[in-house]
Amino acid sequence: MESYHLKRIDFIFKNENDWKDVLSRALASDKQLILNELMESELKGRGGAGFPTGLKWKLTADEKSDEKHIICNADEGEPGTFKDREILTQVPFKVLVGMAICGYVIGALKGFIYLRGEYTFLMPELEKAIKEFEYYCKEINFKFSIKIFLGSGAYICGEETALFESMEGKRGEPRNKPPFPTKNGYLGKPTVVNNVETLAHTYTIFKYGAKQFYDLGVQYSRGTKLFSVSGDTPKAGIYELELGMTLEQFVDDFGDGDTKAVQVGGASGFLVPRKLFSQTIIGFKGKLEGHSLPTGGSMMLFNSSRSMFNVLSNYLYFFHEESCGQCTPCRVGCQVLLNGINEVKKGERSTLYLDKLLQLTETMKQTAKCGLGQSVANSFSSIVENFKEEMIY
Amino acid sequence: MGKNISITINGKKIEVPQGTTILEAAEKATFHIPTLCYHKDLCVAGNCRVCVVEQVGNQRLLASCATPAEENMNIITNSLKVRNARRHIIQLLLAEHKSDCTKCYKNGNCELQKIAADLRILDQEFTELKTWKAFTVDKHSPSIIKDDSKCIRCQRCVRTCAELQGVNALSVSGKGSKMHISTFMEKSMVDVVCTNCGQCVNHCPTGALVEKNYIEEVWMALADPEKHVVVQTAPAVRVGLGEEMGAKPGTRVTGKMVSALKQLGFDAVLDTDFTADLTIMEEGTELLNRLKMFLANGDKNVKLPLLTSCSPGWIKYLEHMYPEQLDNLSTCKSPQQMFGALAKTYYANAKKIDPESIVSVSIMPCTAKKFEAERPEMHDSGYRDVDYVLTTRELAIMIKQAGIELLQLEDSKYDSLMGDSTGAGVIFGATGGVMEAALRTAYEIVTGREVPFKNLNIEPVRGIEGVRSASVIIENALPGWDFLNGVELKCAIAHGLVNAKNIMDKVKAGEADFHFIEIMACPGGCLGGGGQPIPTNPEIRRKRTEAIYEEDEQMTIRKSHENPEVLKIYKDYLKEPLGEKSHHLLHTKYTPRDRY
Ligand SMILES: Cc1cc2nc3c(=O)[nH]c(=O)nc-3n(C[C@H](O)[C@H](O)[C@H](O)COP(=O)(O)O)c2cc1C
Ligand code: SF4
């Protein structure tokens, strides 16, 4: 018998055959009202960074431009994340409606889905859905089209500005910010980039109202979130849960009884050791009690059979390969870190070198050009500081 | 421009126009921030992260080159946090870099080395990666050596090749630890569209891209008593060389350079300006001939506009990108190659020297000239016309190797034969100069009068805009040239290959009705050439340009057709422009090439 500790919620994957109504209703209402609704829901981006979605749409809507774009970020490259694929497979219309409403609000006539190259197999079904969707748009006289853009296998292209470069036919390298995408995005035009899941949530909000969404979760972290659960767990899979749970509650539910640590947020996230489970809250930063961790939804559980050295080494290997390589702190830093932990492990450098490397990750956090290089410090410092003995012996 | 913004830097409050970056604002407030990927000629990349500064209240540091100043920003450029981060970044670059400074060609003129020295980085905090061992040095190009083990991935070369030159021979490939600067299919520089212009070399902060140097070969020739070593110096060298010796940009060192070359042991120090003047005679005549066929004879098959052919980087560019326009290119060799062909014929004859024993060296502001000297066509004297091409920088190295204090030397005069020059020859070194020199001569040939510009200075063709155009209306032409009466002679000038592309696209589309177009591969013309002193930037090029025009103004003879040695060579040897001898020695043909 299974015991449920955490409430399972079913908004996103709920089969609702009313997308046409939701769309038509939204298109008939005032743009400002839609923005207000979205802002009241306090929905934050589900791609990892947690930027308030309502504000993002508003900033883009406020820009004056002859052309704007809405891009659905379906690059889903964060190790241990596999929820967006499921959304696009099961409820593609929710995402398409979210995009169209965004287009209506901000004034974009074109939407793009930036689809991870490895998800090419989703194309035929998705294209079919888009066709049907566009047909309906035409029927109701709403000018909006959606194109799929296939990525080519680089993790960094999920970073929104690298994604623009990639779509523009250039090398996927992040740009300098500012200017931000809301002002200067795809083809230099104001652009909203939203994660697949974020857009699916907007559907819920537009259908049921902001309050339904807002009432779930906790302060600063409203609503639900999809979690991609993997690792040493008997219940690997995708779950929609309320934000604001403690990691302890999560592990009680999903652990195998021997959970030593959980990596929250994939390679660019944090490793939380058992002793901190109870004080760690899954949600966005805010003035909450305890330590809150934002996440794109990847929850990877490790039991006592796992070497944390290997875990870190894997992440660093991933970063040293997936960094775009343009900026010094990230390109060289990742290699120095990867070599460094091996040197310490082999006894070629003293354990004090780990402190130097920790300082280096601090510099990477402060100076790297994009989120990739800035977040290497997360897994590095949380693993090295909590499992120092495993790094050395 | 929009409004002004007030920003505080290191406690100093200053006003800057909106859109100013923090780096520019700091410069204005006289605070120096080290940079590597930043270059005034190029768009901002913001990838080296050396220029980070602290914004009070912001956890993250800001790349000052890429961040616009905002109202009331409070910036500190040298806090402990900044200094630590900057030290780390330089340490990382050094961990990646093949740091054998004392054996490096750029030793002493390397931006990475300079910052490491300024910050006194004395230890290797992070273990060296040694990934550079995977790279092999590409030495196949006659002009450029590419050594990725010295590369810091700032992409200045890539941006230069794309933004200034529109060539895109260099690009970024690989990601993460494998990210490096490559060429199409990782081919050698000699096998791609590289024009050998050397702008990438000029913009490289380290020793990753350098000219292929022929210094030892020249020393060997100088040491060989059997050899008669002649040297020619291009116009732009005299306004650049001083910088290598610590003089301010724009310092003219013509006479001192001649003295230094004599001290180095060259048997004859001669002037490329002489063949620049000769080029005007040949190319001017070619232009007038084409105009005559077109206007007087109504021959619509005449290829106009005539394109200048002095810049070998430009020629190779045209061969790759617009092979169908090669017939528009003047058949004149560049002044260097005219000189080379004459050195081993006319000069050898006159001086009664066995051409076999002549070693012909040229000092050029240019790396493409190295390639040009190697072209198989360039053997019209019966020998290789130019044996060794040295850049301004290589000459500076030789002068330093010999312990000569260039700036302390007395002036000397060029030797003769082929040492006379005119102001017209000198201005070949600046963009618009060939056009101006050609107009001074052609106008006078056709009308019998001097060009109608004060002091012979044809201001409309001067300047720094990438593409310029001007026209002169011909009136009261001399007998024989009446077909030009009332004709508006239209000319255009472009410098930097990206501007050449602009104008060539118009020519190709039939949208440009110019008669004559001057194109120089490098920004600013030869004075901004790929072989000139490093650094280069718009301000430095402006100073060198001023120096070129000063040099012109103080010459007694300022028109090519009045160069006494030019008159003499036609009388004694060539007979007439485009004559049989000229055709054989001074003109050439071109080769269509692939676009990749
Ligand atoms: C290295 C890197 C990779 C990223 N990959 C993804 C991704 O695969 N999918 C995604 O939605 N966001 C990704 N992001 C975040 C995006 O840059 C962006 O913040 C997000 O798509 C915005 O959507 P949201 O506000 O709906 O979360 C990535 C960011 C970084 C720095
Ligand atoms: S932080 Fe890494 S991925 Fe981001 S721009 Fe720099 S090198 Fe590229």
Per-residue confidence of chain A (393 residues) as pLDDT tens digits? Answer: 455 578 999 999 998 889 999 999 999 999 999 999 999 999 999 998 899 999 999 999 999 999 999 999 999 999 999 999 999 999 999 999 999 999 999 999 999 999 999 999 999 999 999 999 999 999 999 999 999 999 988 999 999 999 999 999 999 999 999 999 999 999 999 999 999 999 999 999 999 999 999 999 999 999 999 999 999 999 999 999 999 999 999 999 999 999 999 999 999 999 999 999 999 999 987 654 557 777 789 999 999 999 999 999 999 999 999 999 999 999 999 999 999 999 999 999 999 999 999 999 999 999 999 999 999 999 999 999 999 999 999
* Helix intervals (H) in B404-471: 423-426, 433-447
CA distance B93 to chain A (A): 7
Pairwise CA distance, residues B275 & B359, whole Å:
18
- Nearest C-alpha in A relative to B54: A366
- Name which of B400, B127, B385 is nearest B260 in CA terms: B400
Specify whether domain A19-214 bears CATH 3.40.225.10.
no
Check: CB of residue B121 under 8 Å from CB of residue B94. Answer: yes
**What are the structural domain ranges in chain B?**
4-78, 91-211, 215-274+337-408
For residue A221, report the phi and psi dihedrals to the nearest 5 degrees.
-135, 80
Is the CB of A48 inside 8 Å of chain B's CB atoms?
Answer: no
What are the Cα distances from residue B41, in Å, to B13, B193, B523, B539?
28, 22, 10, 10
- Name which of B181, B184, B335 is nearest B271 in CA terms: B335
pLDDT in tens, A29-58: 999 999 999 999 999 999 988 999 999 999
- Identify the residue whose C-alpha is closest to ligand 2 atom 6: A327
Active-site residue flag, B377: yes
Which among B52, B68, B179 has the least Cβ separation from residue A331? B179
Active-site residue flag, B450: no
Cβ contact, residue pair A366, B59, below 8 Å? yes
Check: CB of residue B525 under 8 Å from CB of residue B385. Answer: no
- Name which of B462, B498, B588 is nearest B313 in CA terms: B498
The CATH classification number of B215-274+337-408 equals 3.40.50.1780
* Ligand sitting nearest the alpha carbon of A154: 1
Active-site residue flag, B283: yes
Pairwise CA distance, residues A301 & A281, whole Å:
16
What single letter denotes the amino acid at residue B119?
A: L
Q: Where in chain A is the domain with CATH 3.10.20.600?
A: 218-303
Which among A156, A322, A369 has the least Cβ separation from residue B46? A369
Task: Write out the H or E segment, with its range, that includes residue B320.
Answer: helix B312-321
Candidate from A326, A337, A338, A366 with most ligand 2 atoms within 8 A of CB, to mutate:
A326
- Write down the pLDDT at residue B3: 87
Within 10 Å of residue B554's Cβ, how many Cβ atoms? 11
Cβ contact, residue pair A359, B129, below 8 Å? no
Cβ contact, residue pair B81, A319, below 8 Å? no
Rounded to the nearest whole angstrom, what is the distance from the C-alpha of residue A374 to the centroid of ligand 1?
A: 14
Active-site residue flag, B186: no
Residues in chain A within 8 Å Cβ distance of B176: 319-325, 331, 334
* Ligand sitting nearest the alpha carbon of A374: 2
Could you report the predicted ipTM of this complex, rounded to two decimals?
Answer: 0.95
Which among A154, A336, A366 has the least Cβ separation from residue B85? A366
A154 lines ligand 2 (CB under 6 A): no
Q: Where in chain A is the domain with CATH 1.20.1440.230?
A: 308-392
Residues in chain A within 8 Å Cβ distance of B129: 332, 335-336, 339
Specify whether domain B4-78 bears CATH 3.10.20.740.
yes
- Write down the pLDDT at residue A153: 81
Cβ contact, residue pair A328, B172, below 8 Å? no
Pairwise CA distance, residues B149 & B128, whole Å:
13
pLDDT in tens, B40-93: 999 999 999 999 999 999 999 999 999 999 999 999 999 999 999 999 999 999
Rounded to the nearest whole angstrom, what is the distance from the C-alpha of residue B109 to the centroid of ligand 1?
A: 42
pLDDT in tens, A281-300: 999 876 545 577 777 899 99
The encoded tokens of residue A147 equal 């194109």
- Identify the residue whose C-alpha is closest to ligand 1 atom 20: A47
- Write down the pLDDT at residue A290: 58
- Identify the residue whose C-alpha is closest to ligand 2 atom 1: A373
pLDDT in tens, A22-31: 999 999 999 9
For the CA of A46, the nearest atom of ligand 1: 27
Residues in chain B within 8 Å Cβ distance of A370: none
Class of A308-392 in CATH:
mainly alpha
The angle that helices A53-62 and A92-106 make with each other, rounded to 10 degrees, is 40
* Ligand sitting nearest the alpha carbon of A326: 2
- Answer whether the bond into residue B305 is a cis peptide, omega within 30°: yes
Residues of chain B under the 70 pLDDT cut: 1
Check: CB of residue B369 under 8 Å from CB of residue B232. Answer: no
Active-site residue flag, B581: no
Parallel, antiparallel, or unpaired: how do β-strands B358-364 and B228-233 relate? parallel
Q: Where in chain A is the domain with CATH 3.40.50.11540?
A: 19-214
Check: CB of residue A357 under 8 Å from CB of residue A350. Answer: no
Check: CB of residue B210 under 8 Å from CB of residue B144. Answer: yes
Within 10 Å of residue A276's Cβ, how many Cβ atoms? 19
Pairwise CA distance, residues B38 & B41, whole Å:
9
CATH fold label, A218-303: Ubiquitin-like (UB roll) (3.10.20)
* Ligand sitting nearest the alpha carbon of A198: 1
Rounded to the nearest whole angstrom, what is the distance from the C-alpha of residue A195 to the centroid of ligand 1?
A: 7
The encoded tokens of residue B302 equal 């005449």
Q: Which of residues 336-375 of A touch B (CB under 8 A)?
A: 336, 339-340, 343, 349, 356, 359-360, 363, 365-369, 374
Q: Which residues pair with A296 in a beta bridge?
A: none
For the CA of A199, the nearest atom of ligand 1: 26
Rounded to the nearest whole angstrom, what is the distance from the C-alpha of residue A156 to the centroid of ligand 2?
A: 8
The CATH classification number of B91-211 equals 3.30.70.20
Cβ contact, residue pair B49, A176, below 8 Å? no
What are the Cα distances from residue B431, in Å, to A299, B321, B517?
63, 22, 11
The 8 Å CB, 24+ separation contacts for B96-103 are B96/A331, B96/A332, B96/A335, B96/B129, B96/B131, B96/B132, B96/B152, B97/B132, B97/B149, B97/B150, B97/B152, B97/B206, B98/B132, B98/B149, B98/B150, B99/B128
Within 10 Å of residue B217's Cβ, how many Cβ atoms? 14
